[in-house]
Amino acid sequence: MHEESALRYVAAAGVDIVVSLPCDRTQTLFSLIEASFRNIMVLREEDGVGLCAGLFLAGNRPMMHIQSSGLGTMLNAIMTLSVPYELPLPVLASWRGIHRERVEVQMPFNIHLPDLLDAMDIVYTVIHEAGDLDRIEGAVADAFEHHRPHVILVSPKVWEGIGGVAGSPPVSAPPSRHRDVRLVYERTIPDPLWRRADAIAAVAPLFTDELVVTNLGNPSAELYATRDRPEHFYMMGSYSQATPIGLGLALGQDRDVVVLDGDGSLLGTAILPVVAAESPGNLTIVCLDNGSFGSTGDQLTQAYAVADLELIARGAGFTRTCKVEDGADIREAYRSRRPGPFFIHAMIAPGSARVPPLPLRARDIRDRFMGAVWSPAMIQTLFG
């Protein structure tokens, strides 16, 4: 079976975790991935970019498996996270739109993929025939050796063969979906009297051994100005990827992980149900909710007067959440964070502190952070 051969090459390249969003033309491959690797299902492909970044920073060797149309949603995250921070990202993509494509709308984007990847200087490998599957191992190895994205475009022809129909996995009955859902939720959302910098100043002194991911823009600058540590992963781009990075870190190692995220970022991602499903006990998300896009001029988000991020987290499957209104509240909540995943919803007012821009380059942030997470032997193995 060609799918088994493909995964042997993936394993030979050292991949230990696969982040997936399925394609209907690789159903057998997907079922074998679930049987052969630790598999994490995401709901948006771009969240897989952050998740793989966090997994790698924790010392793992992740790979993504998607259909190629998902590359369209991933490009910003790739170019603002994987590329500038020099993080490996092997992507095994079912190349839609080129071989016996039955879905008309798959064609306009996918037929131009090689040109698009060339324009973005993203390395890729094309596999048109089953006899070329051995190239997978080298492509994955290249991503880790050169610390860069490497896309592997696999034609459905590889799986479908001469007959033109891909094999289907054995059909098994899903587990029972029965469950009882009980929720009594009453909250008063006040007019906040403190700002994001106040919340960061209240919680940052409590950090000891935790790994901290902070949202892009002003939150990173405010945390750096308040308290800098090598264990801080400061984001400078890749909107909505703070919590995916934190999830990858939490799943990939045992130390506590804290994400300082924002309402705009969390409303723009589909990661909260994934966090709840994976349920890492060492993850705390602090949602600094000022109801605005705080790094672009405080334009109001839907969280300002409509959406309740704590209730959204509850609906996503979190069982431990709380709402905090001041420094004493957030310190008390933070000290009770284990077991997670724990969602702390901090209601704050719009406005940013006057602090200098972050003085670090992306690669500097990566190197400091990995030095705090990895053993010297691990760093020597990867970087020489």
Backbone angles phi, psi at 282, to 5 degrees: -105, 20
Instruction: Convert the pLDDT of each residue in 126-160 to its tens digit.
Output: 999 999 999 999 999 999 999 999 999 999 999 88
CATH homologous superfamily of 196-373 equals Thiamin diphosphate (ThDP)-binding fold, Pyr/PP domains (3.40.50.970)
How would DSSP label each residue in 309-348? HHHHHHHHT-SEEEEE-SHHHHHHHHHT--SS-EEEEEE-
Top CATH class, 2-160: alpha beta
Using the predicted structure, report yes or no on whether residue 122 has a pLDDT greater than 90: yes
pLDDT average, residue stretch 318-341:
96
Instruction: Convert the pLDDT of each residue in 2-21 to its tens digit.
Output: 999 999 999 999 999 999 99
Instruction: Convert the pLDDT of each residue in 230-247 to its tens digit.
Output: 999 999 999 999 999 999
pLDDT given at position 258: 98
Instruction: Convert the pLDDT of each residue in 176-211 to its tens digit.
Output: 999 999 889 999 998 999 999 999 999 999 999 999
User: What angle separates helix 196-203 from helix 218-226, to the nearest 10 degrees?
Assistant: 40
Backbone angles phi, psi at 107, to 5 degrees: -80, -50
pLDDT average, residue stretch 324-346:
96
Q: Where in the chain is the domain with CATH 3.40.50.970?
A: 2-160, 196-373
Can you tell me which residue has the tokens 């007959």?
Answer: 163
Strands 299-300 and 232-234, bridge-based pairing: unpaired
Using the predicted structure, report yes or no on whether residue 350 has a pLDDT greater than 90: yes
> 321 forms bridges with which residues in the sheet?
343
pLDDT given at position 27: 92
Residue 282, CB half-sphere, CA atoms under 13 Å: how many?
16
Can you tell me which residue has the tokens 């992980």?
Answer: 257
Q: How confident is the model at residue 384 (pLDDT cuts 50, 70, 90)?
A: low
> 345 forms bridges with which residues in the sheet?
287, 323
pLDDT average, residue stretch 103-128:
96
More confident residue, 303 or 163: 303
pLDDT given at position 190: 86
Using the predicted structure, report yes or no on whether residue 163 has a pLDDT greater than 50: no
Q: How many other C-beta atoms can be found within 10 angstroms of the C-beta atom of residue 384? A: 5
pLDDT given at position 167: 59
Instruction: Convert the pLDDT of each residue in 268-279 to its tens digit.
Output: 999 999 999 999
pLDDT given at position 381: 72
How would DSSP label each residue in 123-164? EEEEE-SGGGTTHHHHHHHHHHHHTSEEEEEE-THHHHTTTT
* Percent of the chain surpassing pLDDT 70: 97
**The two three-digit tokens of residue 226, written as one number:** 């308040």
Q: List Cα–Cα distances, 242 to 36, 106, 123, 167, in angstroms.
A: 28, 30, 25, 38
Pick from 91, 101, 156: which is nearest to 122 by CA? 91
CA distance 250 to 379: 19
What is the chain's mean pLDDT, rounded?
95
Q: Is the preceding omega at residue 190 within 30 degrees of 0, hence cis? A: no
CA distance 200 to 190: 19
pLDDT given at position 256: 98
Question: Position 129: which residue type?
Answer: E
